[in-house]
Structure 1
């Protein structure tokens, strides 16, 4: 029986592994519940990790007989592994694709909430006003939505937006026309994408994306544009964006910041056209419980017949991965 080491705390196991998945683990593997002690990973063919797992030392593979599979029941694996292990034929899997659906729901919810001016109506009603005459929301249906990056979170949002009949515009230098047509979107320049009524960021934190949306871009946006950032804080000029929000020109939903946690001024905190949340776009009860099962399904296919599956981390995409 294949030996599998679970390199996460009991609390994290309870968070990311459903009872059904735990039963499947016990049925298919010789399971070692190693916790965060990486010394107990030796001899395991499969290592199951998540948030809180320390970086896996390259020494695990130094003798040439390290784990053949690393399955990460969380998102990015860049802080977990050294890509040199790909050269030893190690297959890596990540649950980022499952988290993407939760992020997509957050983005859709944020767009609708800001479009209908719900925070402003909420604030007005709490202050004693009833149906302020100067407030009226807009609809998402039929609007142009600019999406920066064709990542898994972007693809989840695109799927959720389909019933709204939006004009979906994507800026991604790596997205070719054939893939764009398959997604049901059209590609455009960064400037055209930022000219949409709604703009959602879905880019990884790599040198090419830091400062991608600049002060100049933000100042050129049409008044009333709704900006959602659930990707990485450095992708946008945060100071410039918040200035535009406080001035009332733009609406924004920010789940990520630069730095984290942020130190926000009182004027920013009081802005009713701003939604802020503490990096929780991908954090849901159902989503977390599904993470181990998501990667495990692909691990079993890999072990059985070499099929990669949607959670497989392609070594060729490492430089642009989140």
Structure 2
């Protein structure tokens, strides 16, 4: 075994990833920790790598280890890692690209269905002893239009799910040419997608070009009763503006990521109607957890082994 250590910002990871990293001493933060505790751990252990699931891997964390060579992300979102600092420090920061694509796409589909048929509201009413068959009308997805914003590994899967249901699929992705898109979809500009879609599903990274992508003005372009789903990253939707639309009964929302996480009893989301909320678990399935952990471990080893 190497004397070198790897810090893992989690209490445990999939056994297959542990097996890959067996030649290194693994140091776990636990499930809950402060930034100060993370900095202290990195400073004490001087790891050659950080396998990052939770916490902010900022410049202070990175510079705490003189031996740090690589940060392997347990997932695909890189906004918790200061990549500019990593470049300055000569540290490679690598996402586990494609590792949780199926898991996240399946959650997006689940949220679309839950909103379209008001499944969560009906379930809660049933548990309260109500029978709301009279007056209930769901929204049928077959024949409706699905707008997919960002057509990478996850967006492609969601587009195929939509097509399988019988939906017309529009795609907006400024980084792809038409011939790179799934067969049968139509590429359009973002605002055209928003005005034409019954369902809008976000599948793009958070960066300067996507931050506040759905602001109050663009939310105003959506059809009344449209469904918005975000299983990507928080920060792409103006949360206050969309809550106003939800309270007015103008939209439905499926949301798996929040600007302030975790939410608590004082959060304005707690009493927001017409919203199906999940606690950032898009990639948290048996397959997703394995894929993210193994992908992060493989990325770390690719750097450490040269």
Assess if the C-alpha contact under 8 Å between 1:117 and 1:136 holds in 2.
no
- Tell me the TM-score normalised to structure 1 length: 0.73
Give ranges in structure 2 of 5+ residues lacking alignment: 29-37
- Tell me the TM-score normalised to structure 2 length: 0.76
Query: Match for residue 283 of structure 1?
Result: 284
Assess if the C-alpha contact under 8 Å between 2:77 and 2:233 holds in 1.
no
Cα pair distance change 1:89/1:168, threshold 3 Å: farther
Query: Match for residue 144 of structure 1?
Result: 145
Structure 1 residue 168, shift from structure 2 partner:
2.0
Structure 1 residue 152, shift from structure 2 partner:
4.3
Query: Which 10-residue stretch deviates more, 109-118 or 200-209?
Result: 200-209
Higher helix share: 1
Assess if the C-alpha contact under 8 Å between 1:4 and 1:47 holds in 2.
no
Query: Match for residue 19 of structure 2?
Result: 23
Alpha-carbon distance in structure 2 between the residues aligned to 1:243 and 1:292: 38
Query: Match for residue 213 of structure 2?
Result: 212
Structure 1 residue 249, shift from structure 2 partner:
2.4
* SS of residue paired to 2:21: helix
**Number of residue pairs matched by the alignment:** 290
Query: Match for residue 271 of structure 2?
Result: 269
Query: Which 10-residue stretch deviates more, 34-43 or 185-194?
Result: 34-43
* SS of residue paired to 2:235: helix
Query: Match for residue 185 of structure 1?
Result: 185
TM-superposition CA deviations, 1:7-61 (whole Å, max 9, x none): 026xx252x222x3323332xxx312244532466584x5544324754424756
Cα pair distance change 1:77/1:67, threshold 3 Å: same
* SS of residue paired to 2:100: helix
Structure 1 residue 157, shift from structure 2 partner:
2.5
Alpha-carbon distance in structure 2 between the residues aligned to 1:265 and 1:47: 34
Alpha-carbon distance in structure 2 between the residues aligned to 1:74 and 1:96: 7
Give ranges in structure 1 of 5+ residues lacking alignment: 307-322
TM-superposition CA deviations, 1:190-209 (whole Å, max 9, x none): 22211211111223333332
Assess if the C-alpha contact under 8 Å between 2:203 and 2:231 holds in 1.
yes
Assess if the C-alpha contact under 8 Å between 1:101 and 1:157 holds in 2.
no
Assess if the C-alpha contact under 8 Å between 1:155 and 1:183 holds in 2.
no
